[in-house]
Amino acid sequence: CFFKSIDGKIINMQPSSIGLISATQAEAGIILRNLKKTGAENFYKGKIGNCDVVLVISGIGKANAARAVTLLVEKFSPSLVINFGIGGAYPSAKLKTGDIAIADKEIYGDEGLLLKDGFHKTDVMGIPLLKKGRKKYFNEFPLNKSLIRKAFKLSKLLTFNSFASGRLGRLAEESEPARGGQLLTNIETGAFVTVSTVTGTDKRAKELEKRFNAICENMEGAAVAHVCAMYGIPMLEIRGISNIVEDRNRDKWDIKTAAENCQRAVLAFIREGKA
């Protein structure tokens, strides 16, 4: 399993496993169908196309995600980590429920300093969250541009009909289309914000969106990106949009469609993203 960037450069130089991390089983059900549990932890192993895959269910939140991805890396040494699941789209993002968002960077939304004049990121404190060689990471963790471009390109090609016809193989065929025949035309890349407290008001949503110039909110991504940066492992993050971040109304959410669409994008990347 070799991955190449759009310009043909090899990203992972040796055949190895791909590490997948999702917060809950509900967000990973399609992919889990062809994987088998291994060991006492929530690890599942199998093959997708020609790639060996190890998936871990982390549980929600930054601490759980950091622990899970650390175990994933230490036990299985993946060449690439893909973090996937559902997320909420900020109001001004060009995203609706069921669309796909791909992170170009992950941002810790809570870490920082709160003063009379408002919130300040950790760079104001002068203490980086991570030092890797000469590079200092504060709130933001940029992600691999080549992986992002490839994931975006492949996601743009997806239709629900293609899964029914078996274009992506048996894994995809096992899931019924959520919106039969509809193109997944709305794929966006941008900054993701990781929070400890899920945003449930219009006011807070607009505040975070403006502060970080972000498109999507989640509870794990920055922690996964942080650990991957520590180990020097490239990371890709793909999320299906379950809701718009606004005054909370669960009647407007569609977790099932978001989770299915996200997994289809992940499967497309794994199966078609190889050399």
- The answer to the question of residue 133 being in a domain is yes
- The answer to the question of residue 34 being in a domain is no
- Assign 275 a pLDDT band (cuts: 50, 70, 90): very low
Residue range 193-205: mean pLDDT, rounded: 98
Question: Please, which residues have CB within 8 angstroms of residue 258's CB and are 6 or more apart in sequence?
Answer: 86, 87, 97, 98, 239, 240, 241, 242
pLDDT at position 3 is 54
- Please name which of 52, 68, 44, 56 lies closest in space to residue 3, comparing C-alpha atoms: 52
- Assign 136 a pLDDT band (cuts: 50, 70, 90): very high
pLDDT at position 184 is 52
- The answer to the question of residue 56 being in a domain is no
- The answer to the question of residue 2 being in a domain is no
Domain that holds residue 223: 86-272
- The answer to the question of residue 29 being in a domain is no
pLDDT at position 12 is 46
Mean pLDDT of the chain: 88
pLDDT at position 158 is 82
- Assign 274 a pLDDT band (cuts: 50, 70, 90): low
**CATH number of the domain within which 210 lies:** 3.40.50.1580
- Assign 179 a pLDDT band (cuts: 50, 70, 90): very low
Which range among 36-50, 131-145, 217-231 shows the weakest confidence by mean pLDDT? 36-50
pLDDT at position 2 is 52
pLDDT digits over 21-34, tens only?
999 999 999 999 98
Strand, helix or coil for residue 111: coil
Does pLDDT of 173 surpass 60?
Answer: no
pLDDT digits over 49-65, tens only?
889 999 999 999 999 99
Residue scoring higher pLDDT (69 or 40): 69
pLDDT at position 40 is 73
- Please name which of 171, 224, 226 lies closest in space to residue 48, comparing C-alpha atoms: 171
CA 165 to the chain's CA centroid? 26
Does pLDDT of 258 surpass 50?
Answer: yes
pLDDT at position 39 is 83
- The answer to the question of residue 230 being in a domain is yes
Residue scoring higher pLDDT (166 or 228): 228
- The answer to the question of residue 246 being in a domain is yes
Count of structural domains within the chain: 1
- The answer to the question of residue 162 being in a domain is yes
pTM for this structure? Answer: 0.87
Does pLDDT of 181 surpass 60?
Answer: no
For the chain, the distance separating the N- and C-terminal CA atoms, rounded to the nearest angstrom, is 8
Q: Are strands 18-22 and 80-89 parallel, antiparallel or unpaired?
A: parallel
Residue range 150-158: mean pLDDT, rounded: 91
- Please name which of 252, 243, 253 lies closest in space to residue 101, comparing C-alpha atoms: 243
